[in-house]
C-alpha cells in the first residue's frame, strides 16, 4: 500500500486528521488503506481483536448477539471514531461484533501495533480516549432509547445517525440491518419505513435509502439524537448523533 494513499486518506478520518504532520508520520508505515465491504465482519464478539479500523467513508455497526442468534445494534462508528475502542482498556477480545453497514475505505492497523502506539503516542491516545468517551455516551443513550422510546422515534434517530456518518443523502441500508438497529422484526421495519415515505421524509426501495427531508426527521426523533450529538461536538468538535 502506497504511503501517499495512507497520507491522503488520513484527512477523511476526523480523529487522524486532528494530528499534526509530525504526529501522524510515525503511524503511516503501520496503516493500510482497505475497502470494507457491506456485511463484512470486522470484529467478532468474544474473539481476538486482530485489527483496528479508522473509517474514512464507511460506517460500521456495533452489534450484540444473544445465544439464540438474535442481535441488536448498540452503536454506530463512522469517520469520527475507530473500531476496537475496548483496546483502550487493554482488552484483547472483542466485546461486540462490528459489521460494515455502509461500504467504503478505512485505514487499518494491526492490533499489536495499535497497542504499542497507544503506549507511546500521547497526542493520538488523548484523541482516542475522547472518542471512547463519546462512544460510551452513545451506547448509554441507546440503552435508554431502546427501552423508552417508540419505534418510529428510534427509526428517525438511526437514519440521522447513519446520515451523519455517510454524509450523503443516499445510501444502501437493508431491512435486515434496520431491524437489527431497532431491535424489531422486519415486518415492523416495512410498516415504519412506509409511514416515513408517505410523509415525504425518505424514499426507500430495494435496500436503497434516500433522505428527502432531514429537518422533518429531526422533528420526528427523540431527545437521544440531540443529546449524543452534543457530546460528540463537545468532546471531538464534530456533530454526530
Domain ranges of the chain: 3-144, 149-223
pLDDT given for residue 13 in this prediction? 95
Residue 92: band (very low, low, confident or very high) from pLDDT cuts 50, 70, 90: very high
Angle at 63 between CA 61 and CA 65, to 5 degrees: 160
Output the average pLDDT for the chain.
92
pLDDT tens for each residue of 153-208? 999 998 999 899 887 899 988 888 788 778 788 888 889 999 999 999 999 998 89
pLDDT given for residue 147 in this prediction? 87
The answer to whether residue 1 scores a pLDDT higher than 70 is: no
Better pLDDT: 208 or 71: 208
**Alpha carbons 205 and 180: distance in angstroms, whole number:** 18
pLDDT given for residue 3 in this prediction? 83
The CATH fold of domain 3-144:
Jelly Rolls (2.60.120)
**Alpha carbons 175 and 206: distance in angstroms, whole number:** 9
Q: Which three cell numbers stand for residue 147?
A: 427501552
- Torsion of Cα atoms, 196 then 198 then 201 then 203, to 10°: 90
Residue 73: band (very low, low, confident or very high) from pLDDT cuts 50, 70, 90: confident
pLDDT given for residue 222 in this prediction? 95
Do residues 170 and 208 make contact, with C-beta atoms less than 8 angstroms apart? yes
pLDDT given for residue 28 in this prediction? 94
Q: Which residues contact 40 (CB under 8 A, 6 or more apart)?
A: 99, 100, 103
The dotted CATH code for 149-223 is 1.10.10.10
Amino acid at each position: 500500500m502506497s504511503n501517499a494513499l495512507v497520507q491522503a486518506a488520513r484527512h477523511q478520518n476526523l480523529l487522524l486528521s486532528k494530528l499534526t504532520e509530525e504526529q501522524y508520520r510515525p503511524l503511516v508505515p503501520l496503516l493500510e488503506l482497505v475497502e470494507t465491504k457491506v456485511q463484512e465482519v470486522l470484529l467478532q464478539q468474544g474473539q481476538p481483536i486482530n485489527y483496528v479500523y479508522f473509517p474514512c467513508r464507511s460506517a460500521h455497526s456495533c452489534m450484540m448477539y444473544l445465544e439464540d442468534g438474535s442481535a441488536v445494534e448498540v452503536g454506530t462508528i463512522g469517520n469520527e471514531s475507530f473500531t476496537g475502542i475496548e483496546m483502550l482498556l487493554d482488552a484483547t477480545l472483542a466485546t461486540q461484533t462490528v459489521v460494515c453497514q455502509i461500504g467504503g475505505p478505512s485505514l487499518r492497523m494491526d492490533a499489536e501495533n495499535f497497542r504499542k502506539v497507544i503506549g507511546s503516542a500521547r497526542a493520538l491516545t488523548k484523541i482516542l480516549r475522547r472518542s471512547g468517551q463519546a462512544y460510551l455516551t452513545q451506547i448509554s443513550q441507546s440503552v435508554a432509547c431502546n427501552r423508552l422510546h417508540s419505534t418510529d422515534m428510534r427509526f428517525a434517530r438511526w437514519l440521522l445517525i447513519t446520515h451523519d456518518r455517510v454524509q450523503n443523502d443516499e445510501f444502501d441500508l437493508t431491512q435486515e440491518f434496520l431491524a437489527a438497529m431497532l431491535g424489531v422484526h422486519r415486518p415492523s421495519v416495512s410498516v415504519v419505513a412506509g409511514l416515513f415515505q408517505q410523509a415525504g421524509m425518505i424514499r426507500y426501495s430495494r435496500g436503497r435509502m434516500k433522505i428527502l427531508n432531514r429537518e422533518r426527521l429531526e422533528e420526528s426523533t427523540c431527545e437521544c439524537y440531540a443529546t449524543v450529538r452534543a457530546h460528540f461536538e463537545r468532546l471531538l468538535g464534530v456533530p454526530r448523533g
